[in-house]
Structure formats: structure tokens, C-alpha cells
Amino acid sequence: MALIDAQKDYYAILGVTPDADDEAIKQAYRQGAREYHPDSGHGDVERFRQIQEAYEVLRDKALRLAYDRQRERRGLSENAPVVLELLQSRTTLAPLDVSQVVYVLVDIRPHSEQETASIRQHLNMALVVDCSTSMSGARIQNVKIAAADLLENLAPTDRLALITFNDRAEVLAPSELVENARNFKSAIASMIPGGGTEIYQGLLAGLNEVKRYAAADMVNHVILLTDGRTYGDELQSLREARQAASEGITISAFGIGEDWNDEFLDELARNGGGVSHYISSPSEVRTVLKQQIQGLCNIMLQNMKLEVNLAPYVHIRGAYRATPYLEILDFTGNVIKLGSLLLDEPVVVVLELIIEPSAIGERRIVRLDLVGDKAANAESVRLRQDVNVTFTLDVKEEPPPPKLINHLARLAVFQLQERAWKALGAGNVRQATQYLEYAATRLFDMGQRDLGQAAMLEVGRLSHGGDPTKEGRKKLRYGTRGLIAPVH
Amino acid sequence: MIHKGNKIICPSCGEENLIGTLFCVQCGTYLPSGGPLRTEPLPEQEEERPARPRQEGEEGKEERALNIEVEILNTGRKVLLSADREILVGRLDAAHGIFPELDLTTDGGLEQGVSRRHARIYTREGMCFVEDLDSTNGTFLNEERVTPYLPYAFRDGDLLMFGTMRMKVHIYSNR
């Protein structure tokens, strides 16, 4: 009985198309076998063996069907919209009497050929702008320019609503098709800062506008722009974001300047299935917003989730998003929410698994199911991959894959500075200083002098009994988060 | 790796890490490297590095000498390197005292983006490592760009690329 290896492309090995009939497969096999037979002039034992293996599977109707299905589930067949690729730090483990660590890298990307010629997604969005007193001057001016740009960047059939908030929310322009939007320009001009910052009111008004026209085949999205902290309505806002996400509406949060609450906005975006960004200077608002819109148009999979099915002797120590930006992921209930997959931007997730002692033999340590909804037609997608390791006395000397090391190196730094802020929040200054020093060392090692210096600056302030600067904290959090693997 | 009992002791902060950990959970140091490798010896010092006292039984067991042969693909030149000491990869620059063991000047190193001090190759515990020295155009192992100052293990038949210069490595153990 032949064993199926879904990783191998049997059709390509035989040189036939996936829809080839039995006769064509037989022909191809005969020809290939004759050509590469070890006894023939230019024999190739390995090639010959592969051709035989491919034929063993494809000649048998049941096996071929099973093979096709496995390929599709793993995203390897041309029918699958997404490719799910796994890398693990080790494949063989010594049977020790202590726990061990195995890292698994999950690379999720759109199937290259199929999706390049895709259509642009339709947007149904609301722009929610903080109009508190602190937004006066350069900030509001740049937001106005960015909002006007937004109109240019949207398609005529997209929907946009404009909402401002301070102590209360005001719908300046209700949701309208961009081609009919005559009053947007005057609405933009009428944004005048004054008052406090109550994010919840603004968020609610924005969500309501989007909800009115929400459709499964559109990208329903709220963009929140703020420069301040909100007081007392964080929990309400987070609840609203979660609720919206479950209804298919995502939220992105952009913080301008240094005074906003980074943890809150991060969590708001995480609950809302979107992203959060740090805008250090007002002039960046335009570029960041434009990029965001382009990203939204390129969404191919929404509500992406990774279901992690662990063997009883395995548990997760950490789950991280490695690209497009670093994030510590929540793995409660062994379901990891991943938000959206963009056409041109793979999502890479790293799992850190603890393996308890186990007997010799090959075992499946985890089964991963990636689920999501296609943005184009709300059709659901499910892909499955298993991770196996072999417990053996004969452990292979296998260098961990370079790609995995690259991502882990960045995660290590990001985690160090996150721990520093956490320690600081708990009042443990000595511990925080230590973590920041470690982070600085690693940053200098990686050639990130700018961020390394930012970390050392905060170390200096802390060790002299000072408080860290808000700017330094944001620079480090969002700087280390944005550390990406070197590009070719 | 530096196993002690059934743990890996971080050489930088002393934290005990579970077997298989790649970055110390306490301080973020890369563990298979055997420690932080950030301090670069100056080229002059490299020349007159004192002979390390050899310990009994150390030979043969761990420090089995490896020979690394690199085949520079564009010129076809093959260089056999003895890995009993660190190999600097780069371009010769006598004025600054840079004398790489693997000098790529004559292979078109400048045109192909090889830095003067580009990377280093060394062996430890029978494994070969390559470490980029923050070169301008990067070092690639099997088409994947490596992070500067992190050692990456490579094996016989792997493809290394310095800047855009590609080479294939062959490793021979030499008993």
C-alpha cells in the first residue's frame, strides 16, 4: 500500500496536469519509468523511485482522491485560496525525562497564481476623528488633509462616513457612496477642535454608520484617530469592539503624538480585528491612512483564526504574530484570532510549544486548522496541517531553519521591552531597568542603533529615579514591534 | 549546546532554559551560539591570539577538525578552509589591517557587494556556523537573509551568499 505524501506534487513529478485521466497518467508513468530506469543510459534512482511513488498513488482512484483532498486542505492544490506552510525548530527529540521546547512557524499566504488578478474589495467605512482641544493646530490640519486624500483614494462605489468626537460624538457626514458625497468637503472643513476625549461615543457613532450598510461581501471598517486618553469608558469601548468584530466589522486605531493610551488602543484594535499604529508626527497621518486604505482594499481573508489542537502532553507557552508586525497573541481556549489576511502580505505566526516527556516513536504534537472567510464572497475556508516529531535515541543534528531564527530574534527583543513596561507597571523599577538593558543589548547586536539608544536613554532615566518618557516608551513598543525580517 | 543536566544554562544571565529553547527566556540571548558574540576582536588582535591551552581529551571528542570547502559559483574557484580557527570572509584591505581568510577580491567581490568584513565562519561542537558582521548587502543561507551577529548553523551542500556572490559549501570531517 502506497503512502501518501501530500507535500509532494505527484502530478508535476509525472509531468501531467491535475485533471489528467487514468490513461494519460499511465502513459506518463511508462515514459518516465523508461527514461529514468537505473538500467537505462541516463538512469536516476531517486527520480525513478519518485515516479513510481507518484504512479502508485495516482493510479488508484481512492488514493488519488485522498491525495487531492489533502493537497487542497493544506493549501497546496491550485483550488485552495491560501497556502499554509509550517516550519519547526526540530523534528527529532531525545526521550528526556524533562519538558522540552519546540517552535513552530506558521506561514499563511495567499495562493500566488490564483489571487494576483483579484478584484479590489469594496469598502464600507467610517472615519472617527478625535476633535478634543489637544488636536488643535498641526494635528487637525493634517487630519483634514488626510481626510480629503481619503476621498481621492476611495472608489466611487465605496461608502464613507465622517464622525468627530470630543465630550460627545457628532456625525458630520452620514454614510454615503463616495460618488454621491457632495458634502464631505464641507464636513471636513467644519472639524473644529474643542473639549475632552470620549472615545466610546465616537466609536459607537462610527460603528452605527457602518452597521447600517454592512454586507458580508464588503470590508466593513472603522478607523479611529485620536491623540488622547479616554477616561472610564475603556471597558465599554472594548466590549463594543468585540461585538462589532463578531458582526464582521473591524476597527483600526491610530494614535497621534505621545499622550494616548497605547495598551488600550492596541487592545481595541485587537478586539476589533484590526491594527493599531503610532503616528509620531502629524505629517505622517496622510501616509499611514493611505496605506491603511490600500491594505483594506487588498483583504482576501477575514476573521482568520488558528485552531490549535494539542496532544495531551503538549501545551502552548507563547503564541506570537511575527509579520506584518509583532504581537503577543492570545491563545485562550487554544483558538488564536488573527484578523485579516492581505493579498500582498503574508501572516506569520510563531508557536512556542512545551512537550512533556514521551515514549519513543513518531507522534503528532499538534494539529492546526486555519479558518477564515473569503472577503470576496464570504465563503468559508478551512485548511489543516499536522506537526509531527519523532522521539528517538538517534537525534538528528538539524540546524533550526534560518527564517525561524530571524523571527525569534525579533520576538525576543519585543518581549523584553514588553516585560519591562509590565514590570514598571507593577512598580518593579529594578526589574524593568534590567529588561530594558537586555533589550538595548540585543538591539545593538542586531544593528538597530536608533532603538538601542532609545532603550538606553530610558535605562538612564530609570536608574536615576526618573520616569520613562512617553515618547521613548512608544518609540520602543512600536519600533520593536515593526522590526521586520531583513528583506532580500 | 551547553547542556547542564537537562537544562540549557544561558551563558549571559545564568537562567536555566528548557532543552530546545532558542532564545533565553530571561535576557533574549541566542542560545545555540554558546553566548553573546557581539564583541568583535580587532584584526590585529586576531593575528596574535594566544594559543589556547588544550585540555585533556578535548581533542577527538568535541573539537574534531572540520574542513570546509567553498565553491564560488560564478568563478568556479574552490577554496579549502581549515576550520580549526575562525574564518573571516571579506575583501583584503591592507591599509585597515583586514586580512580575510576567505578573500573574495579576485572573484569580483566589490562588484557583487561583498563588504570588507562581511561575515565569519567557525565551528563549534562539530557544527559549522556563519555569522554576518552587519555587512552592507547581507549574508544569505539557502536564500534566506540572516540577522547580523546571530550564528546560523549550516550543513554540507548548503548555499551561502555574501552580497550577491553565491557559493556552495562542502564539509569534510578530518580525522
Residue B174: its pLDDT value, please? 62
Confidence class of residue A2 from pLDDT cuts 50, 70 and 90? Answer: low
**Which of the two residues, A382 and B168, has the higher pLDDT score?**
B168
pLDDT of residue B48: 41
Asked if residue A346 lies in contact with residue A109, where contact means CB atoms within 8 angstroms, the answer is: yes
First and final C-alpha spacing in chain B? 22
The per-residue pLDDT for range B97-139, each reduced to its tens digit, is 888 989 999 999 999 999 999 999 988 877 889 999 888 899 9
pLDDT at residue A111 is higher than 80: no
φ and ψ at residue A302, rounded to 5 degrees:
-115, 165
How buried is residue A35: exposed, middle or buried, by Cβ count under 10 Å (0-12/13-18/19+)? middle
Residue of A85, A442, A446 best to disrupt the B interface, most CBs of B under 10 A: A442
Higher pLDDT, B168 or A298: B168
Within A142-289, strands assigned E span 159-165, 169-177, 218-226, 249-256, 276-279
* A446 to B148: CB separation less than 8 angstroms, yes or no: yes
A41: left (phi over 0), alpha (psi -120 to 50) or beta: alpha
Confidence of residue B52 (pLDDT cuts 50, 70, 90): very low
CB spacing of A412 vs B126 below 8 angstroms: no
Q: How confident is the model at residue B42 (pLDDT cuts 50, 70, 90)?
A: very low
Predicted confidence band of residue A15 (pLDDT cuts 50, 70, 90): confident
Could you say which residues from 342 to 381 on chain A have a Cβ atom under 8 Å away from some Cβ of chain B? 354-355
- What percent of chain B stands above pLDDT 70? 77
State how far residue A477 is from chain B, nearest Cα, in angstroms: 16
In eight-state DSSP terms, residue B59 is T
Query: Cα(A124)–Cα(A144) distance, rounded to whole angstroms?
Result: 20
**How would residue A215 be classed by pLDDT, with cut points 50, 70 and 90?**
confident
Query: What band does B163 get if pLDDT is binned at 50, 70 and 90?
Result: very high
Q: Is the pLDDT of residue A310 over 90?
A: yes
Instruction: Note the pTM of the prediction, 2 decimals.
Output: 0.71
**Cβ-defined contact of A397 to B126 (cutoff 8 Å):** yes
pLDDT of B3 > 60? The answer is no
Tell whether the model's pLDDT for residue A488 goes beyond 70. no
Q: What is the per-residue pLDDT across A158-168, written as a single tens digit (0 to 9) for each?
A: 999 999 998 88
Nearest to residue A58, comparing CAs of A47, A71, A46? A71
Which range is most confident: A252-256, A277-281, B46-50? A252-256
Round the average pLDDT of chain A to a whole number and report it.
85
- Is residue B151 very low, low, confident or very high in pLDDT (cuts 50, 70, 90)? confident
List of chain A residues whose C-beta atoms are within 8 Å of the C-beta of residue B125: none
pLDDT, averaged across chain B: 79
Rounded Cα distance between A142 and A145, Å, is 5
pLDDT band per the 50, 70, 90 thresholds, residue A79: low
Nearest CA distance, B40 vs chain A (angstrom): 11
Look at residue A6 and tell me whether its pLDDT is greater than 50. Answer: yes
Task: Assign B88 a pLDDT band (cuts: 50, 70, 90).
Answer: very high
The more confident residue out of A269 and B34 is: A269
Q: What is the pLDDT of residue B58?
A: 43
- Tell me the chain A residues in contact with residue B140 when contact means C-beta distances shorter than 8 Å: 488
> Average pLDDT, stretch B62-77?
80
Give the pLDDT of residue A103.
95
H helices of chain B, in order, are 43-47
C-alpha cell at B93: 584591505
- Residue-level pLDDT at B65: 66
Distance from CA of B153 to the nearest CA of A (A): 5
pLDDT value for B98: 85
CA distance B175 to B171: 13
B142 → closest Cβ in A103, A402, A488: A402
Task: Provide the pLDDT confidence category of residue B81 given band limits of 50, 70 and 90.
Answer: confident
CB B169 within 8 A of CB B70: yes
CB contact (8 A) between residue A93 and residue B140: no
Name the phi and psi angles at A403, rounded to 5. -60, -40
Residue A260, pLDDT above cutoff 70: yes
Which is more confident, A125 or A79?
A: A125
Closest by CA position to A65, among listed A73, A77, A74, A57: A57
Segment A98-118 shows an average pLDDT of 78
- Alpha carbon of A212 to those of A150, A248, A249, B102: distances in Å? 21, 13, 11, 67
**Contacts with A102 from chain B: Cβ below 8 Å:** 20
Residue B38 and residue A354: Cβ atoms within 8 Å? no
**Model confidence over A22-39: pLDDT tens digits?**
888 898 888 888 888 888
**Is the model more confident about B35 or about B171?**
B171
Number of Cβ within a 10 Å radius of residue A167 = 12
- Asked if B64 contacts B160 with a C-beta cutoff of 8 angstroms, the reply is no
Q: Closest residue of B to A92, CA-based? A: B20
Helix (H) or strand (E) holding B120: strand B117-124
- What does the pLDDT read at residue A270? 81
The predicted structure's pLDDT at residue B49: 43
Q: Please compute the mean of the pLDDT values over residues B28-39 and round it to a whole number.
A: 60
Q: Are strands A218-226 and A122-130 parallel, antiparallel or unpaired?
A: parallel
What CA–CA distances, in Å, run from B171 to A90, A394, B64, B72, B100?
Answer: 22, 21, 12, 15, 20
In this predicted structure, the answer to whether residue A145 has a pLDDT above a threshold of 60 is yes
pLDDT at A224 over 70: yes
The grid cell for A21 is 485521466
Residue B8, pLDDT score: 86
For residues B60-72, give the mean pLDDT: 71
Beta-ladder partners of A460: none
Of A316 and A298, which is predicted with more confidence? Answer: A316
Percent of chain A beyond pLDDT 70? 95
Element housing A268 (H / E) = helix A262-271
- Give yes or no for a cis peptide into A324 (omega within 30° of 0): yes
pLDDT score recorded for residue B36: 39
User: In Å, what is the CA distance from A217 to each residue of A120, A209, A223, A365?
Assistant: 11, 17, 19, 37
Of the candidate ranges A236-245, A255-264, A389-398, B29-38, the one whose mean pLDDT is the lowest: B29-38
Residue A304 β-bridge partners: A339
| Contact check, Cβ <8 Å, A405/B30 | yes
The larger pLDDT score, comparing residue B6 to residue A13, is at A13
Could you tell me the pLDDT band of residue A69, with boundaries at 50, 70 and 90? confident
Judged by DSSP in three states, B58 sits in: coil
